[in-house]
Structure 1
Amino acid sequence: MQNFLTTQFKKINILLLMFFIPYLVSCNNEDLFLEAQVENTEDILENTTSGIQDPVFTFNPQRWGIVQGVVSDEVALKNKEILNSIMTKLKEININTMKIGAMDAYFKVDVNKIGRVENAGGSIQIPSDFHLEMSDDTYLRVQPNAAATYTLMTTYLTDNSKISGGNLVGDRFEHDYSPFTDAAGVKRDEHGWGHLIWIIGSHNVIVDNVNLSNATGDGIVFHSETLRNNDGSLMPGTREVNNVIVRNVNIDECRRNGISILDGRNITFDNCNITNTGQGEQQYDASGSKIYSSSGTAPRYGIDLESIRTRNEDGTLNETALIEGVFIKNSNFTGNEAGDIVVYTASNVIIENNYFDKWVANKASHNVTIRNNTFESRDPSFFAIGINSFITSLGEELNHDYVIVNNIIKNYGIGIRVAGLNQLVSNNTILNCTTGIFLINDLVNSTFRDNQITSNLNLSYGYKNFYNCQNLDNVTIKDEIIEVQNRPINFNVLLNNSVSNTEQVTFTNCLFNTANSNFKMLIKATKNIKFESNRSNTDFQIIDSENIVLINNQTNL
């Protein structure tokens, strides 16, 4: 490979800088390589490192030996080696941008062991301080393979890398999903680790206007160089992902996740389309075992923010990965099989001004803001926003300080389902949902205010609870407007096991209207609820309940 490139470079002509510096403000196409014969790459380095601003090299696939179209594994491997070697040579002579125009080629990038080092080594490698600029007619395809893992393109421990334009295409529908054991002896029959871009321990990376599709795994993955210390600090001399922007990117039909963040800080997604992730029905054999194919494989989310951590027997956390400072904005999520975003284990996340047709969910995360989004369900059985509680064996609530504000939610089974600590749900518009807001176990020190719940569905409710719902305390609900067809309030077995004798949930200054006044506000087998200064066109129906306090409410209006 080295001999091949050396021979090619020897054929390149260079304008002698002493005569042509005034003309080399931008070194486009092959203007740099014109007249003087160069005997070796040192000559290129010597003659191109001064007097040039923003040099750009336009890559000619045919000239440099790229074979396009369907090729053998051997040729696809050579294609990758050519591309990597060219970028390495350009970096040596301080050319920091490579343009690729029309090209449609396959690259052999599969490896026999899952690992950041292994995957980076087998990939197209983008250097530091380098811009790979592709066109709409640039197609880089994964050579079809039978391996459990591959990565088409990586930034490995780089600074200031940029990838723009082009189409990165996986082998999802050409892949061989036969049972697979990797080099470490681990069964990898799922084949869920074939990625298109993997950003590993890199800083100040931009991915812009790239189309990604058909990965056997994920479109884009983020991870640190290694796992962290148990306290979340970086191991000495290692790097995390920090300050990455992914914008104007389309990710379609990836088999596992559209995007996976395993570790990283200060990552922004702006104006992206993440669609049709993980589709396809899972097949099973006669014994009930999974048959792996091009059908989606779990988690099957648009974006999965999932730092893998463990807990010791005493309940203390080993924070060997962390995710914080993620901003997801101005993006569209449609057709993603399991859900649109799961904030599994992350903190300081903002989800703003996006469009969703399924849901945003969580596992164990805190300081999450979900604001100014539009949710429009593709299936009336879904919920739009689902925030669960997660209490450790030490009694610590891990889901806390969510701010859910100014969202528009349409056509869901449940608009907002929420638990946890210190939650704020405010100024949301919930339209034509079966249940507007659904209370579940373990909701403490939380406020709902200025939400509007309206529905034309025959079977529709304002507030409802999970049956046998316990451990709600200091929950304030005020200034709500509820206009539904059925019961504005439908509480059944809520806080009935409470040992407290004081109010734990309070409704104040709310409007509760039903299209049929025969439907009352039902309070059944429930305890410690206070209603004060509310208005309704129906009345309360209180059955087998205790300490239901009614003060200055206007009913049957």
Structure 2
Amino acid sequence: MKKPLMLAFAALALSAFAAPSFAADWWTSMPATVTGKTKVNVRNYGALGNGVHDDTAAFQAAVNALPADGGTVYVPAGRFMINALKPIKMRSHTRLLMDSLTTLEVIPNSATRYFAIKVENVTDVRIVGGNLVGDRAKHVGTTGEWGFGIYVTGAKNVVIKQVNLSNFWGDGIWIGAIGKGTSLNRSDYVTVDRVVSSNNRRQGLSIGPAQHVLITDSTFQNTNGTLPEAGIDIEPQDQGPANTIRLQNNTFANNHGNGIEMHTNISDITITGNKMIGNYGYGVLGISAAYINVTGNTMTQNGLAGVRPSAVSHHWSITGNTLQYNSTRYMSATSTGGQLNRDLQFSAKSYAISVSNNIYSNAKYNGYVQ
């Protein structure tokens, strides 16, 4: 099949470079978190959960009361107000277990940066259940974009599971590193499982310098308020590398930016089995992003194309995806036809891009291979 000019350019470059290389199935053997057997209840340390009282100190007292080998802090149903300027700091080998009717809500502040829960330079931490709510509707200030729900930095063996996060001044979740250069301490082996991150201002979830990050069966939706407004943004840039990351079986819907956005200093990123629906930008956008595997996803009704390796992106494999009815800023979300670049685009500088077995809005491109 004859290739459009900008696609042909990428195809010519492919022969000069090796095919993408991805790590072994590391995600099938994520290490189990090790927590102690002691269990405490935050109400026994002064938490009221009445939606008025500042319960932050009580939460920290409960965490600190656990023995050296850690344990579980249980949070029963209630609305617990948290001062995110003095965040709850998790210790190693500790689990924060919240009832499904538990809400931790940020007390409104004017800060440009805050953290509801901080997982910093520790190991074996689990945060399970409950609802975390930011202060975006009541935030006193107008500047900044760094109000975080759960902030994981320089931590290892962390699980965030079945938590709902919404309305944060910045990101629902951040996963990154402490330090820089030779002192860089990246987060390692972090799992985000069955999380819903909604209506946050900057990102549903951001990944900075980190490795062995698995995001699975989660939803990132309705991000809006301050750029980039993506469902997930992988953007370590010059702080340090991000690699060995797998995004699988997630939904990215109605984000005001892109479903997934990626930048420089990343590699071995697999995006598989996800749905990108109704995002205002691209389903998946990479800006000078390298070694990306996009396979078995469904991307439909996004404002721009389903997939775009942009700038000097290279070594991508784009295969087995359904890319249909995209570019809705310019075309009907229900009409078939159009050019291939309605669903799949490349920048002139991208190279080593492998494409096969995708389904497009215009069926005549379904056999397209490069």
Q: Do the structures match in fold with TM over 0.5?
A: yes
Answer whether contact 2:322 2:359 (CA < 8 A) is retained: no
How far apart in 1 are the matches of 2:367 and 2:261? 29
How far apart in 2 are the matches of 1:352 and 1:449? 15
Match of 1:298 in 2: 227
Match of 1:249 in 2: 195
Match of 1:331 in 2: 250
Stretches (4+) displaced over 6 A: none
How far apart in 1 are the matches of 2:324 and 2:192? 28
Match of 2:130 in 1: 166
Residue 239 of structure 1 pairs with residue 158 of structure 2: no
Q: Who wins on radius of gyration, i.e. which is larger? A: 1
Alignment TM-score, normalising by the size of structure 2: 0.81
How far apart in 1 are the matches of 2:36 and 2:346? 58
Match of 1:100 in 2: 75
Match of 1:69 in 2: 50
Residue 194 of structure 1 pairs with residue 144 of structure 2: no
Residue 59 of structure 1 pairs with residue 5 of structure 2: no
Match of 2:66 in 1: 90
Answer whether contact 2:107 2:135 (CA < 8 A) is retained: yes
Match of 2:241 in 1: 322
TM-fit CA distance, 1:443: 5.0
Superposed CA RMSD: 2.4
TM-fit CA distance, 1:81: 1.5
- Structure of higher RCO (CA pairs closer than 8 Å, 6+ residues apart): 2
Match of 2:310 in 1: 388
Match of 2:4 in 1: none
Paired residue secondary structure (1:81): helix
Q: Deviations over 1:227-286 (max 9, x none)?
A: 2x2xxxx42xx52101101101010110111111121111010100111001xxxxxxxx
How far apart in 2 are the matches of 1:402 and 1:332? 21
Answer whether contact 1:57 1:95 (CA < 8 A) is retained: no
How far apart in 1 are the matches of 2:189 and 2:250? 19
- Map 1:398-547; keep pairs closer than 5 Å: 399-413=313-327, 432-437=336-341, 438=345, 440-444=347-351, 446-453=353-360, 455=362, 481=367
Answer whether contact 1:274 1:334 (CA < 8 A) is retained: yes
Paired residue secondary structure (1:258): strand
Paired residue secondary structure (1:171): coil
- The one-letter code of the counterpart of 1:148 is T
How far apart in 2 are the matches of 1:160 and 1:433? 51
How far apart in 2 are the matches of 1:97 and 1:55? 7
- The one-letter code of the counterpart of 2:241 is L
Between 101-110 and 364-373, report the one with greater CA deviation.
101-110
TM-fit CA distance, 1:440: 4.4
Answer whether contact 1:412 1:434 (CA < 8 A) is retained: no
Paired residue secondary structure (1:141): strand
Alignment TM-score, normalising by the size of structure 1: 0.55
Answer whether contact 2:244 2:267 (CA < 8 A) is retained: yes
Residue 207 of structure 1 pairs with residue 160 of structure 2: yes
Structure 2: tracts of 5 or more residues without a match: 1-34, 329-334
TM-fit CA distance, 1:330: 0.6
2:270 to 331, 335, 350: 350
TM-fit CA distance, 1:133: 0.9
Answer whether contact 1:410 1:433 (CA < 8 A) is retained: no
Answer whether contact 2:95 2:125 (CA < 8 A) is retained: yes
How many residues align? The count is 322
Q: Measured at CA, do residues 297 and 448 of structure 1 come closer, stay the same or move farther in structure 2, by a change above 3 Å?
A: closer
Q: Measured at CA, do residues 127 and 383 of structure 1 come closer, stay the same or move farther in structure 2, by a change above 3 Å?
A: same
Paired residue secondary structure (1:215): coil
How far apart in 1 are the matches of 2:74 and 2:61? 15
Q: Deviations over 1:523-556 (max 9, x none)?
A: xxxxxxxxxxxxxxxxxxxxxxxxxxxxxxxxxx
Q: Aligned residues: percent identity? A: 23
Q: Measured at CA, do residues 387 and 140 of structure 1 come closer, stay the same or move farther in structure 2, by a change above 3 Å?
A: same
Q: Deviations over 1:79-98 (max 9, x none)?
A: 21121122111134x45112
TM-fit CA distance, 1:433: 5.0
How far apart in 2 are the matches of 1:298 and 1:443? 24
How far apart in 1 are the matches of 2:294 and 2:352? 19
